[in-house]
């Protein structure tokens, strides 16, 4: 019996039991047997027919809705007894020579048992169908029709169950391989995407670095002495490159431009990033970037140190401005809002 868990996925997804088509099929099952229960019942047996219909209908719905693989023990126990119970409820209301459609609980039991095999409960599916067959044979023997007649009208239902057993014993091992290959393919695709992202980021940074550094490198290769303006430009570029390494989360155009302008005014700007913004929402990142830009724009002298704190702290960022004896320290919480000001 195939009762081992499918480690890498639920066989229901492989069989399409989550699909709309499966739900339509289950609804068709329920409606068809409701019609048979109502139209083939004997006088006084409608309630028993409807109860039998409810038993097998609930089992059919459970086959596509019950989570887990194989079927959970509770559902397995219910489905095992639903078919024989439905058969017993109906068959003892029938005349000695019933019509073929009046034996509908047998076909319903076969359908439920068949899908129990697919859902990993092969032995229980066989037990259910054999019990339904036993109920029928016992009834035919008791009504004088003989056990041979009972076997002749019931054993035909074993054929679908044999096919379902073979199918269940072959598809479930294959399902493990299929889910494993799918998982490996997903992991490989994710690794390739991450690798491409790294290469794209590297290329982007190389393009940006080339546009920033090449003009000054070409100028440095010139034997002429640098002017004061060119020396200042070299210093500003060095500071910008340092920021891109030490404060990656703040290496955005708004902050870069504001830091360059502040340094041009003579402010000593220090940007530090301890990764507190990693994984933060866009709203928080935007709020922090706006605050940093405003702080840089408002500073005209001294030293301005802006630090993104490590993750897991109650505070996200500190902004410290020192000019002579005066020190201005501001603290921002995990939402990027000011919590401590002078």
pLDDT reported for residue 209: 64
Q: Mapping DSSP to helix (H, G, I), strand (E, B) and coil, where does residue 203 land?
A: helix
pLDDT reported for residue 2: 40
The structure's pTM equals 0.53
Distance in angstroms (rounded) separating the CA atoms of residues 321 and 141? 100
Distance in angstroms (rounded) separating the CA atoms of residues 161 and 116? 10
pLDDT reported for residue 16: 66
- In angstroms, the Cα distances linking 30 to 42, 61, 71, 245 are 20, 9, 20, 66
- Given a contact cutoff of 8 angstroms between Cβ atoms, the answer to whether 315 and 321 are in contact is no
The torsion region of residue 299 among left (phi > 0), alpha (psi -120 to 50) and beta comes to: beta
Q: For the chain, which ranges sit under pLDDT 70?
A: 1-16, 201, 205, 208-212, 216, 219, 342
pLDDT reported for residue 258: 94
Q: Where are the domains of the chain?
A: 11-185, 246-340
- Given a contact cutoff of 8 angstroms between Cβ atoms, the answer to whether 161 and 129 are in contact is yes
Specify which residues 329 forms β-bridges with.
320
List pLDDT tens digits, range 179-233.
778 788 888 888 888 888 878 867 776 776 666 677 767 767 777 777 777 777 7
pLDDT reported for residue 30: 93
pLDDT reported for residue 65: 85
70 prior amide bond cis, ω within 30 = yes
Query: In 3D, which of 259, 221, 265 has the Cα closest to residue 237?
Result: 259
Burial (CB count <10 Å: 0-12, 13-18, 19+), residue 159: exposed
């Amino acid at each position: 019996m195939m009762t081992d868990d499918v480690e890498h996925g639920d066989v229901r997804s492989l069989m399409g039991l989550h699909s709309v088509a499966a739900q339509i099929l289950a609804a068709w099952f329920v409606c068809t047997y409701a019609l048979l229960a109502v139209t083939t019942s004997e006088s006084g047996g409608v309630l028993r027919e409807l109860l039998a219909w409810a038993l097998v209908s609930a089992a059919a719905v459970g086959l596509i809705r019950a989570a887990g693989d194989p079927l959970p023990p509770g559902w397995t126990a219910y489905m095992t007894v639903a078919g024989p119970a439905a058969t017993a409820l109906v068959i003892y209301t029938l005349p000695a020579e019933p019509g073929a459609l009046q034996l509908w609980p047998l076909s319903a039991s076969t359908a439920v048992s068949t899908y129990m095999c697919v859902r990993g409960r092969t032995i229980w599916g066989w037990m259910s169908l054999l019990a339904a067959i036993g109920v029928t044979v016992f009834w035919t023997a008791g009504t004088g029709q003989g056990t041979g007649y009972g076997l002749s009208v019931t054993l035909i239902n074993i054929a679908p169950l044999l096919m379902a057993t073979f199918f269940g014993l072959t598809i479930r091992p294959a399902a493990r391989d299929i889910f494993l290959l799918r998982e490996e393919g997903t992991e490989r695709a994710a690794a390739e995407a991450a690798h491409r992202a790294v290469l794209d980021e590297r290329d982007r940074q190389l393009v940006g670095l080339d546009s920033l550094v090449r003009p000054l490198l070409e100028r440095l290769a010139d034997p002429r002495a640098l002017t004061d303006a060119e020396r200042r430009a070299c210093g500003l570029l060095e500071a910008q490159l340092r920021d891109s390494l030490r404060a990656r989360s703040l290496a955005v155009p708004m902050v870069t431009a504001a830091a360059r302008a502040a340094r041009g005014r003579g402010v000593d700007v220090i940007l530090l990033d301890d990764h507190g913004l990693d994984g933060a929402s866009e709203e928080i990142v935007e709020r922090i970037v706006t605050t940093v830009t405003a702080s840089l724009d408002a500073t005209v002298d001294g030293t301005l140190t802006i630090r993104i704190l490590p993750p897991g702290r109650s505070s996200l960022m500190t902004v410290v401005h020192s000019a002579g004896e005066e020190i201005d320290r501001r603290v921002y919480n995990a939402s990027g809002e000011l919590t401590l000001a002078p």
